[in-house]
Copies of this chain bind each other. A is one copy, B any other.
Amino acid sequence: MAPQLDGFFKQVDTLSDHFIDRLRKAVAIPSISAEEARRPDVVRMGEWLADELTALGAEVEKRPLGKQPGKEHLDLPPVVIARYGNDKNKRTILVYGHYDVQPAGMEDGWATEPFELTIDSKDRMYGRGSTDDKGPVLGWLNAIEAHQKAGVDFPVNLLCCFEGMEEYGSEGLDDFIKAEAKNYFKDADAVCISDNYWLGTEKPCLTYGLRGCSYYSVEVSGPGQDLHSGVFGGTAQEPMTDLVRILASLVDTNGKIQIPGLAELVAPLTEDEKSLYGDIAFSMDMLHESLGSTTSIHPDKERTLMGRWRYPSLSVHGVEGAFSQPGAKTVIPAKVIGKFSIRTVPNMEPEDVDRLVFKYVEEQFNKLGSKNKMNCTLQHAGKWWVASPKHWNFSAASKAAERVWGVKPDLTREGGRQ
């Protein structure tokens, strides 16, 4: 299979210490996007990445994204974009990744220094960002370098889009991509996002779908300020009483959403789609291991994967404005805001979901006969995405993965990333 690539793969092996060293340098930069004081490190990481790409012969630009919304004293780190190759006879692949990381410290339970790449006795590498997402980003640089050193022509043109705010909501990226879709990125024939999960630890996956997310707030308010339950308990209608009743009406223990009309928006399961689930390397044991419990909804693998990928779900996340600390406080909160979200799937249009949610929550509140005020709003909506797993980009990725891993990758979806 693909003998013309033997030289390339040999170079990969030869260069492995160099590649690990490249990852070590990247891990050592604490590019934590959520921490204001680390912003210079995020910028430094972007510059380092741009320099590495330039050294490999890519045309690189660091594009400013302006000020950080809500923190206008802070510049967003630049998005590093690059082009490698400009051959009209080749396909052009747009590669996405991010060079920022989440916070990490020994006090969070790390066994090794998070910003120091550490290799254990089984050759497993530990370091913040080594998998999410510095490793995958550097994989593209390594691929370019190994092609060059093997004297093998790079088979596609690459466009790179590496951002520095992914772990903090990808601030500024949407506008940038919209603006450049028909400009810098106009040649892209396919997109490859190097920032996904495997289902387990043994078999690679190619992701062809993603659930969306519609996130709602339900605010119930009454009194002008928080009250003491000793003084006012039994005389005033309490917003928290109303809110828990509304939240309790949304979904049952087995995940069945109680909002009428929502299930009807979901695309029916075809025999063709159904046949995809059986072969996937996943088991209830794997689910229970990742849950850390056996509190699963469904008894079998197929229905569990469908529950994660192709059916909607509703989660109640918490309550803002109520007592949330350890211990006891006898407060009657004056205004409480329940938070819940719905994972959406084809063919649920976000606007239809909103309409059904608002109508149902309103009805539930009206049933209570409360004098309190209720207001249900959408915080944000991200739409689901699904592609055909038979498209040429998936075929190519599947072949490549099989060449390296010796096994056909699973074609999977994701439950939702936001």
Partner-B contacts on A (CB < 8 A) = 197, 211, 213, 215, 222-225, 227-238, 240-242, 244-245, 247-249, 251-255, 287, 290-298, 304, 307-308, 311-320, 322-334, 339, 341, 343, 368-372, 379-380, 414-418
A343 to B228, CA, bound (A): 11
Closest B residue, CB atoms, query A315: B229
Number of copies: 2
Residues on the B chain within 8 Å of A245, using CB: 248, 253
A98 to B188, CA, bound (A): 74
A333 to B251, CA, bound (A): 16
CB distance from A199 to the nearest CB of B (A): 10
A160 to B372, CA, bound (A): 45
Pick the 6 closest A-B CB pairs, nearest first.
A224-B292, A230-B416, A318-B322, A318-B323, A234-B313, A233-B313
A244 contacts B248, C-beta separation under 8 Å? yes
A233 contacts B416, C-beta separation under 8 Å? yes
Residues on the B chain within 8 Å of A323, using CB: 317-318, 320, 339
A385 to B56, CA, bound (A): 81
CB distance from A330 to the nearest CB of B (A): 6
B330 contacts A324, C-beta separation under 8 Å? no
A245 to B313, CA, bound (A): 17
Closest B residue, CB atoms, query A324: B324
Residues on the B chain within 8 Å of A343, using CB: 229-230, 233-234
A318 to B247, CA, bound (A): 13
CB distance from A329 to the nearest CB of B (A): 6
Q: List 7 A-B contacts (CB under 8 A).
A: A237-B296, A237-B297, A240-B316, A244-B248, A292-B334, A295-B372, A318-B323
A224 contacts B317, C-beta separation under 8 Å? no
A253 contacts B242, C-beta separation under 8 Å? yes
B238 contacts A371, C-beta separation under 8 Å? no
A294 to B247, CA, bound (A): 24
B287 contacts A235, C-beta separation under 8 Å? yes
A330 contacts B418, C-beta separation under 8 Å? yes
CB distance from A159 to the nearest CB of B (A): 27
A320 contacts B330, C-beta separation under 8 Å? no
CB distance from A112 to the nearest CB of B (A): 20
CB distance from A76 to the nearest CB of B (A): 18
| Residue from A304, A319, A369 whose CB has the most chain B CB atoms within 10 Å | A319
A229 contacts B295, C-beta separation under 8 Å? no
Asked if A238 meets B316 with Cβ closer than 8 Å, knowing A215-B330, A294-B371, the reply is: yes
B319 contacts A332, C-beta separation under 8 Å? no
Residues on the B chain within 8 Å of A291, using CB: 222-224, 227, 232, 236
Residues on the B chain within 8 Å of A222, using CB: 291, 293, 295
Asked if A320 meets B316 with Cβ closer than 8 Å, knowing A234-B307, A291-B236, A343-B229, the reply is: no
Could you list 15 further interchain pairs (A-B, Cβ under 8 angstroms) beyond the known A233-B416, A329-B339? A223-B291, A224-B293, A230-B418, A231-B308, A232-B290, A232-B415, A233-B308, A233-B415, A235-B287, A241-B251, A292-B334, A316-B322, A317-B322, A317-B333, A328-B341
Closest B residue, CB atoms, query A298: B235
Residue in B230, B233, B241 whose CB lies within 8 Å of A417: B230
A317 contacts B330, C-beta separation under 8 Å? yes
Residues on the B chain within 8 Å of A339, using CB: 323, 328-329
| Residue from A240, A253, A314 whose CB has the most chain B CB atoms within 10 Å | A253
Closest B residue, CB atoms, query A417: B230
Closest B residue, CB atoms, query A329: B317
Residues on the B chain within 8 Å of A298, using CB: 235
Residue in B255, B329, B331 whose CB lies within 8 Å of A234: B255
A319 contacts B324, C-beta separation under 8 Å? yes
CB distance from A34 to the nearest CB of B (A): 12
Residues on the B chain within 8 Å of A328, using CB: 215, 317, 339, 341, 379-380
